């Protein structure tokens, strides 16, 4: 298992704003995925796919522009909006990539570029170090997280227990025997 920079193993496809948006679905139109769609899973606008970035159901999307930059979500099928980017990797499973990026939200959201409208700092994203286990190992690593998400998230008892355990470890430095 090796440690690599994220930029070595991902491809980024920045979304684009279509020429025309419609408020109702019609033949030949696909859902336009903006931040609200990413959060809710329901599109309120639709467009033709001409010169747009397509996303498949379950693709990893990240908010690239705005106050929510760094927020990661799973895509519904549709067209990637101009404030989002689709991130893909041949060396990382979708689940492993998703949870890795989700863990980086605070860093990516607080270390932005731009003075008026914050933008995700691409160099910070690409420079993050990630362990590169085999694809099978990646699935094993994230399996508990996938299961928790499928069941609607961790129970409050589990979260409280996990928080308590984290606090205990953070108070006591680990010592080698």
Tens-digit pLDDT profile for residues 45-76 = 999 999 999 999 999 999 999 999 999 999 99
85: exposed, middle or buried (Cβ count in 10 Å: 0-12, 13-18, 19+) = buried
User: Measuring CA to CA, which residue among 115, 114, 111 is closest to residue 123?
Assistant: 111
* Beta-strand pair 54-55/60-63: unpaired
Statement to judge: residues 164 and 128 lie in one domain: no
Last residue of a domain, one of 98, 113, 132: 132
7 lies in which domain range? 2-132
Tens-digit pLDDT profile for residues 157-167 = 555 555 554 45
State how far the Cα of 101 lies from the Cα of 86, in Å rounded to an integer.
12
Statement to judge: residues 10 and 59 lie in one domain: yes
Q: Give me the average pLDDT of each 10-residue run along the chain (177 residues).
A: 95 96 94 94 94 96 95 96 97 96 96 91 97 95 88 57 48 47
Q: Which two tokens stand for residue 170?
A: 């953070």
* Beta-strand pair 46-47/54-55: unpaired
CATH number at residue 50: 3.90.220.20
Statement to judge: residues 125 and 81 lie in one domain: yes
81: exposed, middle or buried (Cβ count in 10 Å: 0-12, 13-18, 19+) = buried
Residues 124 and 94 sit within 8 Å (Cβ to Cβ): no
State how far the Cα of 170 lies from the Cα of 174, in Å rounded to an integer.
9
Statement to judge: residues 150 and 119 lie in one domain: no
Q: What is the pTM of this model?
A: 0.83
Please state the domain count of the chain: 2
Statement to judge: residues 45 and 92 lie in one domain: yes
State how far the Cα of 60 lies from the Cα of 164, in Å rounded to an integer.
31
């Amino acid at each position: 298992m090796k440690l690599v920079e994220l930029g070595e193993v991902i491809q980024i496809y920045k979304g684009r704003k279509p020429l025309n948006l419609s408020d109702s679905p019609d033949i030949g139109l696909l859902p336009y995925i903006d931040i609200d769609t990413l959060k809710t899973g329901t599109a309120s606008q639709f467009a033709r796919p001409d010169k747009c970035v397509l996303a498949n159901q379950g693709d990893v999307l990240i908010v690239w522009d705005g106050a929510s930059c760094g927020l990661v979500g799973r895509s519904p099928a549709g067209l990637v909006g101009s404030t989002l980017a689709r991130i893909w990797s041949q060396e990382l499973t979708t689940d492993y990539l998703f949870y890795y990026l989700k863990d980086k939200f605070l860093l990516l959201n607080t270390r932005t570029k731009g003075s008026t409208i914050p933008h995700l700092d691409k160099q910070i994203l690409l420079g993050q170090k990630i362990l590169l286990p085999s694809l099978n190992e990646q699935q094993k690593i994230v399996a508990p997280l996938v299961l928790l998400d499928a069941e609607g998230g961790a129970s409050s008892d589990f979260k409280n227990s996990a928080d308590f355990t984290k606090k205990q470890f953070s108070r006591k430095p680990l010592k080698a025997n």
